Chain A
Amino acid sequence: GQNIDQPTEMTATEGAIVQINCTYQTSGFNGLFWYQQHAGEAPTFLSYNVLDGLEEKGRFSSFLSRSKGYSYLLLKELQMKDSASYLCAVRRGSGGGADGLTFGKGTHLIIQP
């Protein structure tokens, strides 16, 4: 079966750094996505990794190790508006055409002053 694990909830302090981990066991792999979802709103795309290594985009970075089935999302200089759920998702398709995503349950991140 498909399994994507991430912590249910994390708490961090404004201005600090937080790392959200995601491990996956899927029947195929063709890219890993991170989305941010505020309560009552649409999930919005944050980052994408398909090769091993670190992708950096402003305050957000994402890392992938395909051999370990592991990714993390790193958020720096945390702001109160970063309080949200962070969703890890894997695309399992073999390439070309539309492929649905398999999601983890999401990590609810709480930022404290």
Chain B
Amino acid sequence: ETGVTQTPRHLVMGMTNKKSLKCEQHLGHNAMYWYKQSAKKPLELMFVYSLEERVENNSVPSRFSPECPNSSHLFLHLHTLQPEDSALYLCASSQERATQAKNIQYFGAGTRLSVL
């Protein structure tokens, strides 16, 4: 148990559906992240939130829409996805400090998404 919980663990959706992925962290952290992990490809950073403000958007298509209502919760809203968006979506959190320390990112177990 890493202190970062993602739901659902598995999701199957059609290309016209709208769904949301949820992430909750119980570690008191102030930064949260979305990553995409596809087969035979490295984890790719999608979005970074620090103190509930988006600080990085890594050229992600607009069919992915993040939301961070508070420091403990992060959502990824999905609409009109493509089959190539099928992947494992991982959420992470960290405690960011003004002076750079380890700032270890703790990951959830991910949501396995299949787009039909």
> Of A33, A95, A100, A104, which is within 8 A of B48 by CB?
A100
A95-B100 in contact (CB<8A):
yes
In angstroms, Cα B31 to Cα A30, docked, is 17
B50-A105 in contact (CB<8A):
no
In angstroms, Cα B105 to Cα A93, docked, is 14
Contacting residues, chain A, for B90 (C-beta < 8 A): 42-43
Contacting residues, chain B, for A105 (C-beta < 8 A): 40-42
Contact with A along B46-69 (1 / 0, CB 8 A): 001110000110100000000000
Known: A42-B90, A44-B107. A103 touches B100 (CB 8 A): no
A102-B2 in contact (CB<8A):
no
Contacting residues, chain B, for A101 (C-beta < 8 A): 43, 45, 105
B2-A98 in contact (CB<8A):
no
Known: A42-B90, A43-B90. A96 touches B98 (CB 8 A): yes
What is the minimal beta-carbon distance from B46 to any residue of chain A, in angstroms? 9
Find residues 97-116 in chain B having any chain A CB closer than 8 Å to their own CB: 97-100, 102-110
> Of B98, B102, B108, which is within 8 A of A42 by CB?
B108
Main secondary structure of the interface of B (DSSP, over half): loop
B42-A4 in contact (CB<8A):
yes
Interface bracket on B: 20 to 34
Number of cross-chain contacts by CB at 8 Å: 73
> Of B33, B43, B98, B104, which is within 8 A of A45 by CB?
B104
B42-A103 in contact (CB<8A):
yes
User: Can you offer 26 A-B residue contacts whose CB atoms are under 8 A?
Assistant: A4-B42, A31-B100, A33-B104, A35-B107, A42-B4, A42-B90, A42-B106, A42-B108, A42-B109, A43-B90, A45-B105, A48-B102, A87-B43, A96-B96, A97-B55, A98-B31, A98-B33, A98-B50, A98-B94, A98-B96, A100-B33, A101-B43, A102-B42, A103-B44, A105-B40, A105-B41
Please give the residue numbers on chain A whose beta carbons come within 8 Å of chain B beta carbons, in ascending order.
Answer: 4, 30-31, 33, 35, 40-45, 48, 87, 89, 91, 93, 95-106
